[in-house]
Amino acid sequence: MPSVAVKLYSVFFKFMLKHRLQNRIQIDDTNGPNNGTSFGITSRPNEESIAASNPLFTDGVATKDLHVDPATSVSIRIFLPETCLGSPDLDSKSRVRVSTRPGSGSDPNQALILRRNSYGYCTTDSVIENQTNYNKNGFNHRRNSYGCNVVDDLGLKSENGVYRGYNPAGKKNCRKLPVMLQFHGGGFVSGSNDSAANDLFCRRIAKLCDVIVLAVGYRLAPENRYPAAFEDGLKVLHWLAKQANLAECSKSSVGSRRGGEGGGGGGGADLRKSDAYGHIADAFGASLVEPWLAAHGDPSRCVLLGVSCGGNIADYVARKAVEEGKLLDPVKVVAQVLMYPFFIGSVPTHSEIKLANSYFYDKALCTLAWKLFLPEGEFDLDHPAANPLIPGRGPPLKWMPPTLIVVAEHDWMRDRAIAYSEELRKVNVDAPVLEYKDAVHEFATLDMLLKTPQAQACAEDIAIWVKKYISLRGHEFSY
């Protein structure tokens, strides 16, 4: 059973949440159906602490905030792990030394470090080799949170350590990392992508999975009801595809200009031609390329991760990605992770009956949240946004990407999430379920539970599974 502290905090949490939801229902009824605007809001700072963005790699991850849509309040927070600064060439040399260096087992601790090289650990010889490269080429080393020397051989940091990012005219050997879109929880009516709890969780995932995390700040209800939050998730996926294409356009433009400069007698004509191409590229927004993603993002390895109601959004975005197919190129959704998704239905499951008054988010409070989120006059627990098992939801489940579902033992939503995974497995989609004993809803993402061993173990389990689908060397990670 959950600890006494968890039980007491749950009582306080549910009391405050019920008070807030009832106040929003009253305000919504007073203002009428058109109380919201298309711009909307993505956070309620008076309800939770906010973590400021930090472009320094102080704990191994740098962050920045972007507003991605001028018509709405949709924003993202980028979490960039410091491992992106490692040169791919030096990484491969380190791996070779790990496998061929004789006598590496003389020190057990040293041997352990050598085996963990994939997380950024460096061998003694590789450190010496990197120091030699520093003497020859002026490479700059700095210590990262994993305990190894990360090589900034691209010169992309300013004097105060702020990461500058990408220059298309610079070197092309930046390390590419998969991209993960993360959708926070909060019952569609609260939470934010820049809250202290979500910031800590995304930093943990970015380091463990070695990915660039884009935490999406979608519009909240009741100011913006369904389908606003779902459309915002898809909008960020489209924005990612646009960024990838603009970055490639910018690279091509710079490459053609540099080729024209060194092209001999015909260089003048080539240069004029490349300049014209560059103006066309800028007209399409190549100058607005996000530098961190352009330098280090690999959108062909895109993962969706949704927490609670964010799981509903992630599942919607995955379905739309399947329907759009190559229209999203070069973005490819290779997997999704649904953490205790916010599913419900009109016919109650066993857990919805037995655990209706469970911890933190009980069924009555969640029903209130659905009333605030679904369009007025369309409240239905079998709405396609709420129930993943209704027929005709589309597309066919067999086309869905591999889906990892995380559930908690003391969560009334667990059975419907498990049933969804069973339906996916029936059509041969890889859809395992991770169930955590004595756990409650949001046990791995709630502020007071984030630093528990169970929350850390959950993040590590997610990383193990995700790496099956984002690894460039095959499925060497498995259960």
Confidence of residue 280 (pLDDT cuts 50, 70, 90): very low
Residue 260 lies inside a defined structural domain of this protein:
no
* CA dist., res. 174 & res. 38, Å (int): 38
pTM for this prediction: 0.80
Residue 63 lies inside a defined structural domain of this protein:
yes
Lowest mean pLDDT among 38-47, 50-59, 279-288: 279-288
Q: How far apart are the first and last CA of the chain?
A: 27
Please state, for a pLDDT cut of 70, what percent of the chain lies above it: 70
Whole-number pLDDT of residue 47: 86
Specify which residues 163 forms β-bridges with: 157
| Higher pLDDT pick, 115 / 50 | 50
Whole-number pLDDT of residue 232: 97
Dihedral pair phi/psi, residue 109, rounded to 5°: -65, -40
pLDDT, average across residues 443-463: 96
Question: In sequence order, which residues have a C-beta less than 8 Å from that of residue 131 and are 6 or more positions away?
Answer: 141
Residue 479 lies inside a defined structural domain of this protein:
no
What is the overall mean pLDDT for the chain? 79
- Total of domains in the chain: 1
**Residue 32 region by backbone torsions, left for phi larger than 0, else alpha for psi between -120 and 50, else beta:** left
Query: Contact at 8 Å (CB) between 197 and 91?
Result: no
Residue with tokens 């949240």: 369
Whole-number pLDDT of residue 251: 65
CATH code (residue 310): 3.40.50.1820
Instruction: Write out the residue range of the structural domain in which residue 431 sits.
Output: 4-30+38-86+172-252+285-470
Specify which residues 76 forms β-bridges with: 66, 216
* CA dist., res. 414 & res. 407, Å (int): 6
Judge whether residue 430 has pLDDT over 90: yes
Residue 431 lies inside a defined structural domain of this protein:
yes
Rg (CA), the chain: 24
Question: In sequence order, which residues have a C-beta less than 8 Å from that of residue 376 and are 6 or more positions away?
Answer: 33, 225
Query: Contact at 8 Å (CB) between 247 and 255?
Result: no
Judge whether residue 321 has pLDDT over 90: yes
Whole-number pLDDT of residue 188: 96
Query: Contact at 8 Å (CB) between 42 and 218?
Result: yes
Tokens for 251, please give them.
């690279």
* CA dist., res. 145 & res. 279, Å (int): 42
Residue 321 lies inside a defined structural domain of this protein:
yes
Query: How many C-alpha atoms does 405 have within 13 Å on its Cβ side?
Result: 26
Catalytically active residues, by annotation: 308, 411, 441
Residue 101 lies inside a defined structural domain of this protein:
no
Tokens for 338, please give them.
């649904």
33-69 b/e (C-beta count within 10 Å ≥ 16 → b): eeebeeebebbbeeebeebeeebebeebbbbbebebe
Whole-number pLDDT of residue 187: 94
Whole-number pLDDT of residue 30: 64
Residue 79 lies inside a defined structural domain of this protein:
yes
Whole-number pLDDT of residue 165: 63
379-389 b/e (C-beta count within 10 Å ≥ 16 → b): eebebbbbbbe
Residue closest to 289 by CA, chosen among 331, 253, 245: 245
Residue 103 lies inside a defined structural domain of this protein:
no
Residue 195: count other Cβ atoms within 10 Å of its Cβ: 24
pLDDT in tens, 194-239: 999 999 999 999 999 999 999 999 999 999 999 999 999 999 999 9
pLDDT in tens, 349-392: 999 999 999 899 999 999 999 999 999 888 999 999 999 999 88
